[in-house]
């Protein structure tokens, strides 16, 4: 089998600017399609097998109506972020949230179970063994997401897109459907405060962006991985401050959080990529621009230093935990991310002018 698949090896791992070609055809294309299909089936099977790890604490899924936009998240100790997270995405038009609580100890479960538009599942399972929560979410997506536009986010991500203050998500999804698109990309932008990251006070009801007012505007490295045609964007404040020695390990910043779901679809690697691979083409390859958004990343709220120390001890994060030890150490050391080249956030039009997102043809 290995030798039969050799044409695939000729595909580069990642294509920088100016080196991407059209998708492979012929034998290579057929072999690639077969392999991706097998991967997808494997992911779906994994999710199906792990469904037993979830126990429902509040199942309000009977409320879900046809056409509703659904939110999916896996959380752990996010009681501090969730009130604003819920408020922001409710206002955008998410009609029902489906949460997996992975063994929180800070009252997250109670907070979520009290919300009228939240269904909540609990699990003590290993975050890492469940592909960082994706197996659980894949099962919920399969079970409840089919036929809906589904917004899969972490609790420290706030979605913005062109005109988001005046046009709710259904306007965006209607537009995407009219364009024949069923997936929507967004770039994670790390937001950080002016001083050391542990300083300041942000109450759960506060808008975290009042405190996290700054970001890196123009240091994002773009590549496309030709097998799944997915983007691989790294950069931003974390790459600059923590990964200068090992840029390859810097966090991936491209996500595809909003997808019109079909039960046969599966996220591959967080929400950075999914299968079938055509859903990963959230970019125009003809020189034009497609509509895209930004995920404002509120990771660097004051609790970050303790949390990083804990994450490191827990060893449940991406990749080889030992590789990330240095990263967590630097975070625990309370760094200042702000610098003379930082940009103050003013809104989506600024993000668009800076080239971090685009209206595309949407007026």
| Contacts to another protein by CB under 8 A | 16-22, 163, 166-168, 170-171, 174-175, 178-179, 185-187, 216-224, 231, 233-237, 239-240, 243-248, 254, 282-292, 339-343, 355-363
Closer to another protein by Cβ: residue 125 or 226: 226
Residue 270 CA to residue 164 CA, distance in Å, equals: 24
Contact 214/350 with Cβ under 8 angstroms? no
Q: How far is the CB of 313 from another protein (least distance, A)?
A: 29
Closer to another protein by Cβ: residue 121 or 184: 184
Closer to another protein by Cβ: residue 244 or 322: 244
Burial code of 285-305, b = ≥16 C-beta within 10 A, e = fewer? eeeeebbbbbbbbbbbbbebb
Residue 331 CA to residue 354 CA, distance in Å, equals: 27
Q: How far is the CB of 52 from another protein (least distance, A)?
A: 37
Q: How far is the CB of 28 from another protein (least distance, A)?
A: 16
Contact 230/360 with Cβ under 8 angstroms? no
Q: What angle do CA 98, 161, 44 make, to 5 degrees?
A: 40
Q: How far is the CB of 360 from another protein (least distance, A)?
A: 5
Closer to another protein by Cβ: residue 217 or 268: 217
Closer to another protein by Cβ: residue 1 or 363: 363
Residue 208 CA to residue 4 CA, distance in Å, equals: 52
Closer to another protein by Cβ: residue 71 or 257: 257
Angle between helical axes of 321-332 and 304-314 (0-180°, round to 10): 160
- Torsion of the alpha carbons at 298, 84, 66 and 265, rounded to the nearest 10: 20
Residue the block writes with tokens 């949390």: 307
Token pair of 263, please? 């039960």
Q: How far is the CB of 62 from another protein (least distance, A)?
A: 23
Distances from the Cα of 308 to the Cα of 104, 279, 314, angstroms: 16, 33, 10
Q: How far is the CB of 203 from another protein (least distance, A)?
A: 29
Q: How far is the CB of 31 from another protein (least distance, A)?
A: 21
In terms of phi and psi (left: phi > 0; alpha: psi -120 to 50; beta: otherwise), the region of 289 is: beta
Closer to another protein by Cβ: residue 46 or 359: 359
């Amino acid at each position: 089998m290995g030798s039969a698949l050799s044409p695939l090896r000729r595909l580069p791992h990642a294509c920088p600017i100016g080196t991407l070609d059209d998708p492979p055809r012929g034998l290579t294309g057929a072999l690639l399609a077969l392999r991706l299909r097998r991967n997808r089936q494997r992911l779906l099977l994994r999710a199906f097998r792990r469904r037993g790890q979830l126990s429902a604490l509040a199942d309000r899924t009977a409320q879900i109506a046809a056409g509703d936009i659904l939110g999916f998240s896996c959380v752990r100790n996010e009681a501090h972020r969730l009130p604003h997270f819920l408020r922001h995405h409710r206002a955008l038009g998410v009609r029902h949230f489906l949460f997996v609580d992975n063994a929180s100890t800070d009252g997250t479960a109670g907070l979520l179970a009290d919300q009228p538009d939240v269904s909540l599942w609990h699990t003590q399972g290993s975050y890492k063994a469940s592909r960082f929560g994706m197996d659980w979410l894949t099962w919920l997506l399969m079970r409840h997401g089919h036929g809906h536009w589904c917004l899969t986010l972490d609790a420290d991500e706030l979605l913005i897109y062109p005109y988001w203050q005046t046009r709710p998500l259904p306007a965006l999804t209607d537009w995407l459907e009219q364009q024949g698109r069923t997936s929507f990309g967004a770039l994670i932008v790390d937001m950080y405060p002016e001083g050391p990251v542990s300083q300041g006070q942000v109450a759960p009801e506060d808008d975290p962006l009042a405190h996290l007012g700054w970001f890196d505007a123009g240091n994002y490295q773009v590549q496309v991985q030709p097998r799944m045609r997915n983007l691989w964007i790294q950069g931003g404040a974390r790459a600059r401050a923590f990964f200068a020695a090992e840029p390859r390990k810097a966090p991936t910043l491209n996500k595809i959080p909003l997808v019109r779901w079909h039960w046969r679809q599966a996220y591959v690697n967080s929400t950075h990529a999914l299968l079938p691979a055509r859903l990963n083409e959230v970019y125009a390859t003809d020189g034009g621009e497609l509509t895209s958004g930004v995920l404002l990343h509120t990771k660097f709220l004051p609790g970050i230093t303790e949390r990083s120390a804990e994450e490191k001890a827990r060893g449940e994060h991406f990749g080889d935990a030992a590789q990330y030890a240095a990263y967590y150490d630097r975070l625990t050391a309370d760094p200042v991310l702000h610098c003379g080249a930082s940009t103050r956030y003013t809104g989506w039009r600024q993000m668009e002018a800076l080239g971090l997102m685009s209206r595309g043809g949407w007026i």
